[in-house]
Amino acid sequence: MNLAEYKGVYVFAQQVDNQISSIALELIGKGKDLAKDLGTTVTAVLVGSNVKGLADELGEYGADKVIVVDDPELKDYRTEPYTHAITSVINEFKPDIFLIGATAIGRDLGPRVCARIHTGLTADCTQLDIGDFPLVATPGKEQKHGQLLMTRPAFGGNTIATIACPEFRPQMATVRPGVMQKLDREAGRKAEVIEFNPGFTPDNKYVEILEIVKAVSDVADIMDAKILVSGGRGVGSAENFKLLDDLAEAIGGTVSCSRAVVDSGWKPKDLQVGQTGKTVRPHVYFAIGISGAIQHVAGMEESDIIIAINKDESAPIFDVADYGIVGDLNKIVPMLTEKIKEAKA
């Protein structure tokens, strides 16, 4: 493999039902940083059916080029045709770096593509940088510059690993939604649009989609919430979450939770914050009856203001909290709700 042939930062511009997913814009934002360090450009790869019109949005969020793979076979996400589309783009255009969102789609697509291309993939990254590998020069071992350094929690979140892929291209990573920042939209900014279609042959390897049943949820996505009222095992029961519902209603927030709460069956998984849940960065994050395990903190430490309520003054959540209240949540939360209601009246 001639590594010098591979150039540019590419991102998979995930769309569902012809709407660009937020992660695509976050990846363009991060891609711009990486491209600047490498002196190169960011290319978004847009795959779907009748999606060409979405290229403008990708340009306004910072993509320099958009490769559009538009084909009726690509209407809904299916592993085989999407893998064929992305591997064909990689073989044709030879990117140095290829980033994919660690969404349900990206987690299916990324490993397939990298196996077919015969390169490596670091899954679920929380940080990406350009640097030297190995980090420290060692006698007898060539130190390569301008490598993608991919950082992710390892061993159940007990350590942080930085991984590189110095021998193969592209350097591939999946990135957790909500971790990277998208750029401000620049109305009218244009990307160069390149249409590319490798050709698709519907054969029996393609799954036939008979029906798509959408999960109906009346709960807002916790990743979009400005105020999160998050409860842990200390809340005690599903019924007792009423205290948090009342606080959330009074303050205009959304309820979320720790994994202990999901494991206990008190709340659904899509409300879970943390390493195996969602990464959130609201303006205000209430951590109520949550101990502050590293896997939980990994998903909320970027919040602007963290307010912890816990009866144990040595709970690790107080290490990341901006404001801490030591005491019984059953007393404190209703008092807080009353005070907020009074202040609003």
| Contact footprint for ligand FAD (CB under 6 A) | 156-157, 232-234, 258-261, 272-277, 289-291, 293, 295-296, 299, 309-312, 315, 328-330
Q: How many CB atoms lie within 10 A of CB 194?
A: 16
Residue whose CB is less far from ligand FAD, 180 or 271:
271
What's the min distance (Å) between Cβ of 260 and ligand FAD?
A: 3
Residue whose CB is less far from ligand FAD, 162 or 295:
295
- Return d(Cα 240, Cα 259) in angstroms, integer: 17
Residue whose CB is less far from ligand FAD, 114 or 329:
329
Take residue 86 and report the two structure tokens written for it: 């992305």
| Rounded to 5°, angle at Cα 122 from 23 and 105 | 40
What's the min distance (Å) between Cβ of 8 and ligand FAD?
A: 34
- Return d(Cα 296, Cα 278) in angstroms, integer: 10
In the block, which residue shows the tokens 């209703």?
A: 334
Q: How many CB atoms lie within 10 A of CB 21?
A: 18
Residue whose CB is less far from ligand FAD, 148 or 280:
280
Strands 19-20 and 15-16: antiparallel
What's the min distance (Å) between Cβ of 176 and ligand FAD?
A: 11
Residue whose CB is less far from ligand FAD, 66 or 288:
288
What's the min distance (Å) between Cβ of 223 and ligand FAD?
A: 13
What's the min distance (Å) between Cβ of 310 and ligand FAD?
A: 4
Is the dihedral angle over the CA atoms 310, 311, 317, 318 positive or is it negative? positive
Residue whose CB is less far from ligand FAD, 133 or 266:
266
What's the min distance (Å) between Cβ of 236 and ligand FAD?
A: 7
Residue whose CB is less far from ligand FAD, 32 or 176:
176
What's the min distance (Å) between Cβ of 131 and ligand FAD?
A: 27
Residue whose CB is less far from ligand FAD, 123 or 315:
315
What Å distances lie between residue 307 and 78, 173, 301, CA to CA?
Answer: 42, 33, 11
Take residue 205 and report the two structure tokens written for it: 């390897």
Residue whose CB is less far from ligand FAD, 87 or 264:
264
What's the min distance (Å) between Cβ of 272 and ligand FAD?
A: 6
Judge contact between 326 and 311, C-beta under 8 A: yes
Q: Please tell me what DSSP assigns to residue 5.
A: G
What's the min distance (Å) between Cβ of 324 and ligand FAD?
A: 11
What Å distances lie between residue 22 and 15, 25, 45, 189, CA to CA?
Answer: 9, 5, 15, 18
The H or E element containing residue 249 is helix 242-251
SS3 149: strand
Take residue 84 and report the two structure tokens written for it: 């064929």
**Max CA distance (Å), the chain:** 72
